[in-house]
């Protein structure tokens, strides 16, 4: 059995100071994202999405960032999935980008709203055809008897939409997380990490340093 308590690494790659930061968190995120791409990290747009039920039961999973602008961070999923239901119940979520190879994390908290059907349709039809069909075939987060059930459903929708445009499923679309805080975390020696957080205050972003 591995000795989890003995697993440790000192972080030495970089530091993060207030003068390093862009004027808003979106520009700072884009800067770090480009560096993650340049470092050839696998799927740098992979992010851990955490939601919570109205009863206070949290859950997390990895999804992919598919859009970013001054309004927020965009991803797509099934509205009837567990995350979709919980987003509908609370309207809030957190995101985590774990760029471990760069000894960095970005943590985002904010409110969530659905994209318009028009916006969702544009992205849906940009996806590979098998991915479009899978959105119809998979009743995400529900219990199924076997993988064979899923594969059978996929064959059914392949036949149904053969030779025609696959319509956007009514239960599938995008969400935008509008951040209220965005924290940039850079690992440092001796666990004295740099944590700089942007906090939205009316129409301005306030930068605060947090103790590690």
Tell me if 82 sits within 8 A of 36, measured CB to CB: no
Neighbours of 171 (CB within 10 A): 15
Phi, psi for residue 56 in degrees, rounded to 5: 90, 15
Distance of CA 138 to the CA centre of its chain: 20
Active-site positions read 191
Q: Where are the alpha helices (DSSP H) in the chain?
A: 25-38, 82-90, 117-124, 129-137, 147-160
DSSP letter assigned to residue 209: E
Non-local (6+) Cβ contacts of 106 within 8 A are: 29, 32, 95, 96, 97, 99, 182, 183, 184, 185
Tell me if 79 sits within 8 A of 115, measured CB to CB: no
What Å distances lie between residue 2 and 6, 83, 100, 151, 204, CA to CA? 9, 33, 21, 38, 47
């Amino acid at each position: 059995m591995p000795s989890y308590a003995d697993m440790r690494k000192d972080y030495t790659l970089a530091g993060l100071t207030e003068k390093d930061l862009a004027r808003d968190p979106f520009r700072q995120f884009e800067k770090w994202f480009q560096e993650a791409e340049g470092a050839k990290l696998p799927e740098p747009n992979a992010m851990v999405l955490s939601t919570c039920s109205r009863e206070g039961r949290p859950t997390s999973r990895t999804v992919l960032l598919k859009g970013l602008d001054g309004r927020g961070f965009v991803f797509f999923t099934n509205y009837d999935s567990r995350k979709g239901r919980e987003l509908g119940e609370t309207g809030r979520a957190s995101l985590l980008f774990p760029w471990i190879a760069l000894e960095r994390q970005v943590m985002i908290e904010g409110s969530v709203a659905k994209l318009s059907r028009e916006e969702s349709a544009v992205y849906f039809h940009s996806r590979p055809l098998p991915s479009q069909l899978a959105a119809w075939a998979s009743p995400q987060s529900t219990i199924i008897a076997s993988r064979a059930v899923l594969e059978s459903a996929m064959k059914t929708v392949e036949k149904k939409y053969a030779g025609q445009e696959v319509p956007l499923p009514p239960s599938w679309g995008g969400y935008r997380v509008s951040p209220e805080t965005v924290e940039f975390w850079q690992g440092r020696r001796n666990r004295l990490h740099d944590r700089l957080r942007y906090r939205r205050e009316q129409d301005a972003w306030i930068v605060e340093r947090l103790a590690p």
